[in-house]
Every structure is written in structure tokens, then in C-alpha cells.
Amino acid sequence: MRTYLECVPCIIEQTIKTARDLTQDWEKKEILVQKVLETLSNISYNQSPPYLGREAHRVIRKILDNPDPYLKMKKEFNRVGKELFPSLQKRANHSKDRFADAVKLAIAGNIIDFGPQHHFELMRTIDKVLLAKAAIDHTGSLRDDIESASTILYLGDNAGETFFDKILIEKMPPKEIYYGVRGSPVINDATSEDAYWAELDKVTKIISNGSDAPGTILEDCSGEFKDIFARSDLVIAKGHGNYETLNEIKGKKFYFLLMVKCETIAKDVGCSVGDFVVKKIQNAVQP
């Protein structure tokens, strides 16, 4: 997906929030915002939003002299995810349709991205998702395609959300399942460290994509990751960043699981802000 004009203010707003929250040095705040604006002004909007995000956050890390500015936030998200996991797992295990509710829980985990919340508020939102109907719901097709697949690549999104993903993966039949994470820290996205913290290695094979983009830019990924991507029968991808970088890839069967958080994605997906979707996309290879 290309970058739309509406995507740019979002990146700038995130930059300003980072500058405000992560440094008390006014001069650094000013330089950080100026350098990000300068960087964004030299990138074609034919690139995806995560491409712009990658470049912006490289600037942010350099100016802050911090390889992982969001580490404290990620640790909090991991703590919340770990604390919620037993009750969520129990809820999925006692559901009438364990797989369908595990899919909903995996998507509900995306709300962690909005920031630490009181557990009651978090659980109330999760309850709402479990009771709601997906705006686009290809869960039945996903279930069938998982059954017939030999190798599955599951692409994670945020730290802490990894625990919600684990619930869904536990409901899948025994397969060769890889759990893909970012190659190095970017925003609050999950890395290998976060995946191991959630003990996903007990149910999948954790694979770093080798990239510092907040999405999956294939040409930026490691050879090992690209090999696994190529031989996977099915790719399950979580969140906006993975959708924005993979929704136009041809010759691969994708299921995108996400909560829709902005008008641009809502328009592209074909739903409304606040909806959650399980969307299958399989773009044919042109002859």
C-alpha cells in the first residue's frame, strides 16, 4: 500500500509524542522533529507507510542515542499481556467455538497498542470484541486453510500482543508454524526478545525478519526470513504495518487480522474505524 497524504501527519504526530515523552532536552526535541520532517520530505509517497516509519525512527534512535527508545513501554505491555494470559486462555478453552474466539482474542490484543490501560477497561474492550461481529469475517476460510497447510508463517505486531497470538496458535493443529517478529527495535513492535518472553518458542519457531521497519518490507528482510516466507502455504499477518506492506503481494495466501484504527486503512480495507477484520487476500500472479 502506498503512503497517502493522511498518513504523514500520523508519523509526524508520533514523532512529536516521542520527542515530548522520551527526552527533556529541548534542543534535542527540536532537532528530532526537524530531522524527521527533512527525512520525510525526501521520500516518495509511492513507498509504504512503514517505509517512511522506518526512516523516521532511524533518525529518532540516532538523535536520542538510544537503540530502543520504547523499551520501558514494551516491558509494560509484556507485563500486562503476561498477567492477562491465564484468564484469556481459560476463556478461549471454555468457548463453544474455541478457534473463532481465539481469532477474536488475537485481534483484541491489538488494543494494547493504544497504551497501558486499567485492566478493567482492557477486559471490557476485549469483552466487546468477543461479542461483536467482525466487519469482514473470513474465519471459516482461515480455519480450512490452516487445516490444509503444511507450513504457516504468523507475523506478529506489538510487544504484549504476543500473548494474545499465543492463544490462537495453541488452537491450531500441529503444523510447522513460524512466528515472525521485527529484526531490531522499532516503536513498540515485538522482537525476538518479546516473543521468547511470551514463551512462543514452546508452540512455534520464532523467526526474526532481519528488518527495523514497523511492517514487513520483504526486500528489507533477511534471506532466512524470505525463504520461510516463500515456502509458507499460508501467512497470517497482524496489525496495520503488516497489512500496509503485504496487501498487494502476489502469489501468496494472506489472512490479515487487525483492529482498524484510522480512516485510511478503513477505506482501503472496506470498513469503518473501530471495526475488526479477518480478511483473506490472495492476489493472482500476472501471466
The reported pLDDT for the residue numbered 119 is: 55
Q: What is the pTM of this model?
A: 0.95
Please list, in sequence order, all residues whose beta carbon lies within 8 angstroms of the beta carbon of residue 154, skipping any fewer than 6 positions away. Answer: 165, 169, 177, 178, 179, 180, 204, 235, 236, 238
pLDDT of residue 113: 63
pLDDT tens column, 47-72:
999 999 999 999 999 999 999 999 99
Q: Which residues of 149-173 are buried (b: 16+ CB within 10 A; e: fewer)?
A: beebbbbbbbbbbbbbbbbbbebbe
C-alpha cell of 72? Answer: 520501558
How far is the C-alpha of 55 from the C-alpha of 41, rounded, in Å? 11
Average pLDDT over residues 150-154: 99
Alpha-carbon distance of 165 to 189, in angstroms, equals 14
Q: Which pLDDT does position 117 carry in this prediction? A: 43
Q: What's the pLDDT at 110?
A: 83
Q: How many angstroms separate the first and last alpha carbons of the chain? A: 22
User: pLDDT of 208-254, one tens digit each?
Assistant: 999 999 999 999 999 999 999 999 999 999 999 999 999 999 999 99
Angle, vertex CA 260, rays to CA 184 and CA 46, nearest 5: 60
What is the average pLDDT across 70-81?
93
Q: All 3 cell numbers of residue 129? A: 470484541
Neighbours of 6 (CB within 10 A): 13
- Whether the per-residue pLDDT at 106 is higher than 90: the answer is yes
3-state secondary structure of 281: strand
Q: How confident is the model at residue 287 (pLDDT cuts 50, 70, 90)?
A: low
pLDDT band at 116 (very low <50, low <70, confident <90, very high): very low
Q: How confident is the model at residue 124 (pLDDT cuts 50, 70, 90)?
A: confident
| Per-residue pLDDT tens over the stretch 164-205 | 999 999 999 999 999 999 999 999 999 999 999 999 999 999
Q: What percent of the chain has pLDDT over 70?
A: 96
Q: How far is CA 152 from the centre of its chain?
A: 17
Average pLDDT over residues 261-284: 94
Residue that wins the pLDDT comparison between 35 and 118: 35
Helix residue ranges, H only, 94-232: 98-108, 119-131, 139-148, 161-170, 192-197, 223-231
Q: Which residues pair with 254 in a beta bridge?
A: 235, 281
Q: What is the mean pLDDT of residues 268-279?
A: 95
